[in-house]
Amino acid sequence: MDPTDIARWQFAIITVYHFLFVPITIGLTAIIAGYQTAWLRTRNPHWLRLVRFLGKLFLINFAIGVVTGIVQEFQFGMNWSDYSRFVGDIFGAPLAVEGLLAFFLESTFLGLWIFGWERLPEKVHLACIWLVHLGTVFSAYFILAANSWMQHPVGFAYNPDTGRAEMNDFAAVLLNKVQLVTFPHVLLSAYMTAAAFVVGVAFWNMRRHRDGTDDHRMYRSAVRTGALLVLVAGLGVAVTGDLQGKVMTEVQPMKMAAAEGLYETEAPASFSLFQLGTLDGSKETFAIKVPDLLSFLATGDPKAEVQGIDDLRAEYEETYGQDPGEKYYSAGDYTPVIPLTYWSFRLMIGLGLLAAAGAGVILWSTRRRARRAPGRRVLAIAVALPLLPLLANSFGWIFTEAGRQPWAVFGLMTTDLAVSPGVSAFEVIASLTVLTLLYGGLAVVEVRLLLTYIGRGADPMPEPPDDAAGSSDKPLAFAY
């Protein structure tokens, strides 16, 4: 077996698994901070109970996310040493800033928030959770800056003596045009995902309490604010996704052509709603298309030309040569896997649209003047809702990375040349097996903990502190 293919599977599994936790962590810190701000302004105990309830779910998610994120970084040194050597000067800076600034901000103020209940002044305690959210946002920015450089390398010079890309403009790396459209798109999708998670959790608990009770009203508030946030963030995801598509067409035209299964250059180009092709992804056999729409989405002009796969392949062969990696390469390798790229792009968009539609149904069914309580069908939508944007995120990353192939760094280094040359297939299989078993175990722990705390629901409103009691008699801020 080819160790490169196994290493690619391993990195894909680790990356997709880790990214299940990231959007919930980013978005949930903002929602918790928003609820805590609402409590401080209104003194409505519902908001405080929701803060404490969602805070426990967030901490479970955060802990597993940190573990899987650390493993991801080990991957670069273990299976991708040639890649690490080539991009080390570029990747080192944003990853170092992410660790020293963003993660430091997250972990420090998260600790203060967890143990600062009734010990810190209320406004200082509130500032802690907002700073945790700020840390998650900074973390996302620097990680995405590193990834955006792989999509569109800027701010560097190639040193032929060392065979490495060396950074000469850090600002250009941080302000990469790909980064400027990717970051808001990912951030808004994180808000959408976390809001859908809140809707699912709150709706489940709302159904367990009789209408008119305090608990029912509290969970209903969470359901409606969450559903509204899904719709607002979803609208932002659509707008930033459109901007991202235009930049992608400019810097990686093959990725856009592969996303649409567009083999021949067209002007104007049609948007493919559904397409079937040959099993090797080399030719279209059947398609349903919307005229002119792809030209508008790709360029902003409904009559503009969009380059097709066949023309781009010939252009890449002329630009980069027919055999750039020597023993690893053939001319046809300039084309990504078309079926994977095409369907992951549609699943990303389709699942996001389904999530927005589901949030709309839930918002309508929980309005004050609704004639009947939400039934089982709405419950099924609410329970499924957290999974829709979560899967949309995963397919979005699969599309982003698969559509760049065969490049690890676009135009500079192929994925085949990035893998560690001294790692055998047996070693990669062994590490893949161990990590898959470990991640499977972590998934069981995560799901069991989440279901346990979701089932318990929000704790009753805490009693006012008894000044006569010693600090050792006070309840813990968070305990199993």
Question: pLDDT tens, 409-446?
Answer: 998 888 888 888 888 888 889 988 988 888 888 889 98
pLDDT band, residue 474 (cuts 50/70/90) = low
What tokens appear for 229 in the block?
């946030």
Tens of pLDDT, residue by residue over 9-60, are 888 888 888 888 899 999 999 999 999 999 999 999 999 999 999 999 999 9
Residue 281 has a pLDDT of 67
Tens of pLDDT, residue by residue over 73-109, are 778 878 898 898 888 888 888 888 887 777 888 889 9
In terms of Cα–Cα distance, which of 401, 429, 394, 395 is closest to 415?
401
Beta pairing, strands 271-277 & 284-290: antiparallel
3-state secondary structure 171-211: HHHHCCHHHHHHHHHHHHHHHHHHHHHHHHHHHHHHCCCCC
Counted residue by residue, the chain has a size of: 480
Q: Is 223's pLDDT higher than 70?
A: yes
pLDDT band, residue 195 (cuts 50/70/90) = very high
Sign of CA dihedral 230, 232, 235, 241: negative
DSSP code, position 2:
-
pLDDT band, residue 467 (cuts 50/70/90) = low
Angle formed by the axes of helices 81-97 and 122-151, nearest 10°: 150
Residue 473 has a pLDDT of 53
Q: Is 279's pLDDT higher than 90?
A: no
Q: Would you tell me how many other CB atoms lie within 10 Å of the CB of residue 308?
A: 19
Q: Is 462's pLDDT higher than 70?
A: no
Percentage of residues in the chain having pLDDT higher than 90: 51
Residue 142 has a pLDDT of 93
Contact (CB, 8 A) for 402 and 341: yes
Residue 328 has a pLDDT of 38
Indicate the residue type of 361. Answer: V
pTM of the model: 0.90
Q: For residues 333-344, give the mean pLDDT.
A: 89
Average pLDDT, the chain: 88
Tally: H helices and E strands in the chain = 17, 6
182 to 83, 248, 394, 465: CA distances (angstroms): 23, 10, 15, 46
Residue 2 has a pLDDT of 80
Distance between CA atoms of residues 308 and 311, nearest Å:
6
